[in-house]
Structure 1
Amino acid sequence: MSTTYLFDIDGTLLSSGRAGQKAMEEALRVELGVENLDYEIPTAGRTDRAIITDLFRWHDEPLTETRFQQFRDCYFSLLPNHLQAGGGMVLPGVTELLAKITAESNEFTGLMTGNFQTSGWLKVRHFAIDHHFSFGVFGDVHVDRDDLARLAWSELIAKRPELEPNHIWVIGDTPADVQCARAIGARVLAVATGRYSREELEATNPDATVDDFQRTDDVLDILLHG
């Protein structure tokens, strides 16, 4: 049975140079009139819906679905300029790894990220790696990352009823990636290219951990035979 790969974006495939954070902070100024950006909200491994929900709560702003959509659309309009401003990059070894995984087909290689669908595709297109992915599951609806994984599972088995969880690899850089993989019984490869160290990731008991993707053949061996 062909293995399915679900890649996180930020900190796993690429660094956007904080473009997403900068665009969201600009949206705070535009939509909410917030000038003091001294907030303490965790973002790593979380969905954009969860982050925006917390931003509104932090600033004592009521959040209706209409206001959420207005803020989200403002963020979408600002993100391309922040990506163009530079400072981001595809992380080492990613291009080579994706090329080898999708050498024959990208049918079973997708994104599973807390990014909104629009902003997630904007990021991977900006860095010219979007062609490696045939599908994605995004943070538009769910606050809980585990629910995102459950959505991915339901969509995958709808298309491939014979699929088993242990034929899915989740690849990500945060403990949340490990946890959401476990929520659906998938295997998980943790990569220490984000804000978490190898030791912190190993403490969450992934199936495998790597420092980065530069030793492409070793990473591929884990994904194919691990």
Structure 2
Amino acid sequence: MYAVLFDIDGTLILTGGSGQVAFSRTFAEDFGLAEISRDVPFAGRSDRAIALDLMQHGGIEPSDANWRKFQTGYLSRLPSTLEELNGRVLPGVFELLDRLTDIPDVALGLLTGNMQRGAQEKLTYYNLWDRFAFGGYGDTATDRAHIAAQAAAQATQHSQENGKGQLCGTMVLGDTIHDVRCGKSIGALTVAIPTGNADAAELRTSEPDLLIDDLTQTDPLLQAITAALNEFRATA
């Protein structure tokens, strides 16, 4: 089986900043922090890493109890911010997922810094959640490489449970250098897409295997996956 792992924000969808608004409201209303620090980056990082950094910058103890408090508040606010703000599914996403689903022995998963419930809320809102069979999420890890390892383990388990044996390859698609780096940490073929905040020049510094304009450029992806599957079948 070949696993294709997608980042969410900036790769599959743009939410109009719904996640950041839910972050801000949670810190303001539940922690009394009127304004979150602009020195803490969001793109490509796990929700846990972002929240704990914001706590430290705001003079709030980054404890497990406060993380759980944040989770509850954030997840309760995210559905309303998704409705309030103008988001969209990025070009080519539905078509690419359809084409990948039609290829035997390809499984689709997620590799995201979002908490699992946050990922589900976002992708359900945009009619995408049911497209993915497994994933690695940002509930417990602050390091994207740990999330990548979790996603790879989930992919292997999914393959074995479906009688497909070991993976013959993995592809990671994302819009930040963090996506590329965590993909490399699990030996995946990495695909960078400048549809989020990073432009092509910044993404190129992380040396992705493929750099495409957006997900309407499906041919290089499908060719790489088909080649890996054909090579595996020839040697099996």
Cα deviation for residue 67 of structure 1 reads: 1.5
TM-score of the aligned structures, taking structure 2 as reference length: 0.88
Quick one: structure 1 residues 191 and 89, their matched pair in 2 at CA, closer, same or farther if it must change by over 3 Å? same
Structure 2: distance between partners of 1:6 and 1:32: 34
Contact (CA 8 Å) 1:106, 1:132: kept in 2 or not?
Answer: no
Quick one: structure 1 residues 210 and 107, their matched pair in 2 at CA, closer, same or farther if it must change by over 3 Å? closer
Structure 2: distance between partners of 1:204 and 1:225: 24
Aligned to 1:76: 75
Contact (CA 8 Å) 1:170, 1:181: kept in 2 or not?
Answer: yes
Matched, 1:31 2:30: yes
Cα deviation for residue 31 of structure 1 reads: 1.2
One-letter amino acid matched to 2:48: R
Q: Which moved more, 1:36-45 or 1:180-189?
A: 36-45
- What do residues 73-111 of structure 1 show as CA deviations (whole Å, max 9, x unaligned)? 100000000001131000011111111111367971011
Cα deviation for residue 221 of structure 1 reads: 3.2
Structure 2: distance between partners of 1:69 and 1:146: 22
Aligned to 1:163: 166
Secondary structure of the residue aligned to 1:108 is strand
Cα deviation for residue 160 of structure 1 reads: 4.0
One-letter amino acid matched to 1:64: S
Secondary structure of the residue aligned to 1:61 is coil
Cα deviation for residue 157 of structure 1 reads: 3.0
Q: Which moved more, 1:172-181 or 1:30-39?
A: 30-39
1:1-226 to 2 correspondence within 5 Å? 2-103=1-102, 108-160=107-159, 162-164=165-167, 167-225=169-227
TM-score of the aligned structures, taking structure 1 as reference length: 0.92
Cα deviation for residue 140 of structure 1 reads: 0.4
Cα deviation for residue 125 of structure 1 reads: 0.5
One-letter amino acid matched to 2:4: Y
One-letter amino acid matched to 1:163: Q
Contact (CA 8 Å) 1:13, 1:91: kept in 2 or not?
Answer: yes
RMSD: 1.9
Contact (CA 8 Å) 1:213, 1:219: kept in 2 or not?
Answer: no
Unpaired segments ≥5 residues, structure 2: 229-236
Cα deviation for residue 201 of structure 1 reads: 1.1
Structure 1: distance between partners of 2:156 and 2:102: 24
Cα deviation for residue 137 of structure 1 reads: 1.2
> Identity percentage over the alignment?
34
Q: Which moved more, 1:96-105 or 1:107-116?
A: 96-105
One-letter amino acid matched to 1:59: G
- What do residues 158-196 of structure 1 show as CA deviations (whole Å, max 9, x unaligned)? 4546435x6100010110111111111111111110111
Quick one: structure 1 residues 39 and 183, their matched pair in 2 at CA, closer, same or farther if it must change by over 3 Å? same
Unpaired segments ≥5 residues, structure 1: none
Structure 2: distance between partners of 1:216 and 1:104: 13
Structure 2: distance between partners of 1:224 and 1:138: 27
Cα deviation for residue 4 of structure 1 reads: 0.6
Secondary structure of the residue aligned to 1:143 is coil
Cα deviation for residue 38 of structure 1 reads: 4.6
Structure 2: distance between partners of 1:106 and 1:129: 20
